[in-house]
Amino acid sequence: MEHTGADILLKTLENHGVECIFGYPGANSLPIHDSLMKSPIRHYLMRHEQAAAHAADGYARTTGRVGVCMATSGPGATNLVTGIATAFMDSTPLIALTGQVTSNLLGSDAFQETDIIGITMPITKHSFLIHDVKDLAATVQEALEIAQSGRPGPVLIDLPRDVVAARCSFNGSEEASETVWKKQEQTMDRDDLKRISQISDSLNKSERPVIIVGGGIKLAGACLELTALVEKGHIPFVTTMMGVGSVASGNGYNLGFIGTHGRDLANRIVHQSDFILALGTRFSDRTTSKVEEFAPLASIAQIDVDATSIGKIIKPDIFLISDLREALNALLPLVEEKKREEWLCRIDRERNIIQDKGNGDGCGPAGDLIKAVQNAMPENTIAVTDVGLNQIWTVRCWRTRTPRGLITSGGMGTMGFSVPAAIGAQIAAPDQHVVVFSGDGGFFMNMQELATISTYNIPVKIVVFNNGNLGMIRQIQHLFYDSRFADSELGNRVNIPAVAKGFGIASARTDAENPEEGIREMCAAQGPFLLEVMVDPDTYVFPIIPPGRSNMEMIYGRSD
């Protein structure tokens, strides 16, 4: 039986478990939207293509399954670019579908034609331009396989309008390809096992080991194996921002997240360690700060599924390219049970010294409000952050209980990410609760998605910290530009609660010092709710590491 290319595309996605697409239509994607009317796949009409990509990203980060977004050709496709790059940096499995001009117009500068394949080549795992409707099903299957296998990431499929409108025979009841899963199966060879043995030997001999946990642990589904390793070897661990949540925040071996905006204790202990086991992290500049002075006493072992992440910034003494779950399962029996009492006592002494300084979490009233929101909301709430001070406040103060309980844009640091990503998270997890923590700057970048939230009555709770400024930029200007606040003041002329009400969303305003009533009102709301929190613009986050300095050169307070 013959079907259109659009029908084949959607049926193939359906066969692979795709339940929804976040998108925005245009003339060159209309055949697909028309077919969606008879497909069980739900389409969520966003108000901007960038938000569609972030929503698909949030969906994928919540479920671990691929997220799908769609836009038309030209400006629709290019508006996806920031979302695709965000997914690429944080290894999110994403399929981006783009409409394209008809095949006979390709390369002619036709209306709304853009070389989206060329534009996105550096920020996708792979891109496909479909020339023949007969190739569609196989190409979509291959794209799904690429997006989810190894180190996950985005794949783009460019779809000329004539191809999706063309017809060919297709068995719509075809089962999903098994090659996706077969190709992910890996077996460690003799060399790999030798490296595992070397790593376990170094770990067993170490007196002051630390594990650095990156986002790869969550992507590999290796959180239980990591916890077992930590507890068997009594090994303290720190996380990157993307690694937060791999083990519950309350785990006693958790020293917090490391790096520029990280915890004092985490930075200090890594500096004193004699062996580092890095799992699923590429050692970004935010993690290491000054590379030459990073962990000067430690030998380093690195395990990652992505060969390009090995030695990119820090050269390890031992490395293993492997699925992390498989690697930890091989490593665990070789690791000795070792109390390491002296090392753990030393860490406790450092912890006490830091606590005596009275810096607390370094987040001030904003951090207290985040904790109060968490206490007031159900335990299964997912927190989604934007980028800026709100992100650091949340990552430091939100106590993650599950690996996917905190969603943030780590590598790309994309402002405007939080609201659309929360839409995707809430649709992915309708039985859970979702709360957004955003700054006013990030909120303004995608606040049009309040219309999407209102239209579909998506019950996300949105906390907007309003300090009238780009807070993180203001802090940097205060500390390193002699308080010359060039172009970082946004002002307070916009009535954000009124904006929310204009979109049909209930809202309230409170201040960070006295937020109880506002939090109660937000948590009592049955549908979506926006809570604006007024924050002193001089509320910063400490400690912070200056650019070009080592992780031990933290600044603990204002310069005046």
Closest CA to 262 of 299, 227, 237, 280: 237
Q: Where are the alpha helices (DSSP H) in 64-189?
A: 75-79, 81-89, 116-120, 136-148, 161-165, 179-182
CA quadruple 197, 200, 204, 209: dihedral sign: positive
Degrees, nearest 5: CA angle 306-398-478? 90
Rounded to an integer, the average pLDDT of 375-383 is: 97
CB atoms within 10 A of CB 333: 9
Contact (Cβ atoms closer than 8 angstroms) between residue 189 and residue 216:
no
**Is the pLDDT at 312 greater than 60, yes or no?**
yes
Task: Check whether 29 has a pLDDT greater than 90.
Answer: yes
Residue 379, both tokens: 């335990």
Binned at pLDDT 50, 70 and 90, residue 1 comes out as confident
Question: What pLDDT is recorded for position 26?
Answer: 97
Q: Residue-wise over 515-536: b if at least 16 C-beta within 10 A, else e?
A: beebbeebbebeebbbbbbbbe
Question: Is the per-residue pLDDT at 177 higher than 80?
Answer: no
The reported pLDDT for the residue numbered 558 is 81
C-alpha–C-alpha distance, residues 425 and 418, integer Å: 10
Q: What percent of the chain lies above the pLDDT cut of 90?
A: 92
For 456-498, what is each residue's pLDDT tens digit?
A: 999 999 999 999 999 999 999 999 999 999 999 999 999 999 9
Q: Is 523 helix (H, G, I), strand (E, B) or coil?
A: helix
Q: Are 243 and 262 in contact (CB under 8 A)?
A: no
CB 327 within 8 A of CB 187: no
Kindly indicate the confidence band of residue 171, based on its pLDDT and cuts at 50, 70 and 90: confident
> Got the DSSP string for 293-329?
GSSTT-EEEEEES-GGGTTSSS--SEEEES-HHHHHH
Question: What does each C-alpha distance from 129 to 163, 208, 264, 329, 391 come to in angstroms?
Answer: 10, 52, 48, 40, 37
**Residues in a beta bridge with 91:** none
Confidence of residue 250 (pLDDT cuts 50, 70, 90): confident
pLDDT for the residue numbered 416: 98
What is the pLDDT, as a whole number, of residue 175?
Answer: 47
Percent of the chain with pLDDT over 70: 97
Average pLDDT, integer, range 339-357: 91
Q: Answer whether residue 358 shows pLDDT above 90.
A: no
**Does the pLDDT at position 559 exceed 50?**
yes
User: How confident is residue 186, by pLDDT bands cut at 50, 70 and 90?
Assistant: low
**What residues contact residue 479 under an 8 Å CB cut-off, 6+ apart?**
544, 546, 555, 558, 559
Please state the rounded mean pLDDT for residues 521-547: 95
pLDDT of residue 124 exceeding 50: yes
pLDDT for res 274: 98
Question: Quick one: tokens of 375?
Answer: 């206490």
Run of H or E including 222: none
What is the DSSP pairing of strand 42-45 with strand 2-4? Answer: unpaired
Q: Could you tell me whether strands 275-279 and 209-213 are parallel, antiparallel, or unpaired per DSSP bridges? A: parallel
Q: What is the pLDDT of residue 196?
A: 97
- Give the closest residue to 281 by CA, choosing from 302, 254, 255, 256: 302
Mean pLDDT of 404-426: 97
13-25 per-position pLDDT tens digit: 999 999 999 999 9
Q: What DSSP assignment string belongs to 386-432?
A: -SSHHHHHHHHH----STTSEE---SS--TT-HHHHHHHHHHH-TTS
User: Contact 203/277 with Cβ under 8 angstroms?
Assistant: yes
pLDDT of residue 187: 76
For residue range 265-276, list pLDDT tens digits in order. Answer: 999 999 999 999
Predicted confidence at residue 174, as pLDDT, reads 54
Least confident of 59-73, 199-213, 354-368, 397-411: 354-368
Helix 341-356 with 264-272: angle, nearest 10 deg: 140
Higher pLDDT, 250 or 135: 135
Summarize pLDDT for 382-409 with one digit per residue, the tens.
999 999 999 999 999 999 999 999 999 9
Average pLDDT over residues 219-232: 96
The whole-angstrom separation of Cα 420 and Cα 53 is: 8
What does the pLDDT read at residue 560? 72
Q: What tokens were used for 57?
A: 């990203």
What lies within 8 Å, CB to CB, of 111 at 6+ separation is: 74, 101
Q: How far is CA 310 from CA 126, 242, 287, 322, 453, in A?
A: 21, 17, 15, 11, 41
Question: For residue 27, how many other CB atoms are within 10 A of its CB?
Answer: 15
The predicted structure's pLDDT at residue 173: 58
Instruction: Report d(CA 457, CA 468) in Å as an integer.
Output: 29
| Rounded Cα–Cα distance for residues 25 and 256 (Å) | 43
Backbone angles phi, psi at 494, to 5 degrees: -90, 125
Contact in structure between 294 and 553 (CB atoms under 8 Å): no
Q: Is the pLDDT of residue 176 over 70?
A: no
pLDDT for the residue 180: 46
Q: Is the pLDDT of residue 360 over 80?
A: no
CA neighbor of 540 nearest in space, from 463, 464, 477: 477
User: Which amino acid makes up residue 114?
Assistant: T
Q: Please, which residues bridge with residue 317 across strands?
A: none
